[in-house]
Amino acid sequence: MTDLRASAPPADGMDGGSGARQADVTLRGMQPDDVPRVAALERDLFRVSAWTPAMLAEELNAWGRWYIVAQTAQGLVVGYAGLWFDGDVSQVMTIGVDQSFQGCGIGAVLIDALIGRSRQLGAQSVFLEVAVNNDAAISLYHSRGFQQVSIRKRYYQPENLDASVMRLALDTPDTTAANSGTLKT
């Protein structure tokens, strides 16, 4: 297990006015016991599009998947993410951070871990879909070098929202935190 410290700048007003608020989280492989908590986070974050516990459990066991959680020193899971590597490219399957812990750098740590894992696996690219109105996620992906490659019309149902398909080409040297150690699932 690798201990990765989130170090993004604090979100204004989240620390009682005394200074920085940074999350101190550890990344580890997602386990079957984590499914109820992650499913609860999914419901909070994605509402009608949330994955059910059964879908999450199926994903954990599916071929080529790699799922991680971010947990606090108190053991509370506050973020999660997963990818699917098909032998050529990897696909970000999901990523989410507890609303109370957003803006603390945890999403950045999670996406960096997925990118680092993709490099370790030899993926040529990382792909993802994101709703075109999801400004926070799109900003996060842009900050990691993802570029839009296409639009999938009405990809998200029942919201009837278009998805932006984004790609990060992995033909540059690794600068992500995740590759400084080995993450074990």
Whole-number Å distance between alpha carbons of 73 and 34:
16
Q: Is 104 in the site for ligand COA (CB under 6 A)?
A: yes
For ligand COA, which stretch binds (CB under 6 A), given 60-68, 116-124, 132-140, 145-153? 132-140
Q: Is 91 in the site for ligand COA (CB under 6 A)?
A: no
Complete DSSP assignment for 63-109: TTEEEEEEEETT--EEEEEEEEE-SS-EEEEEEEE-GGGTTSSHHHH
User: SS3 of 73, please?
Assistant: coil
CA dihedral 92, 77, 5, 2 (to 10 degrees): -80
Q: Is 133 in the site for ligand COA (CB under 6 A)?
A: no
Q: Is 108 in the site for ligand COA (CB under 6 A)?
A: yes
Q: In the set 54, 136, 149, 151, which binds ligand COA (CB under 6 A)?
A: 136
Closer to ligand COA by CB, 83 or 130: give it.
130
Q: Note the residues at the interface with ligand COA (CB under 6 A).
A: 8-9, 45, 95-97, 102-108, 130, 134-137, 139-140, 143
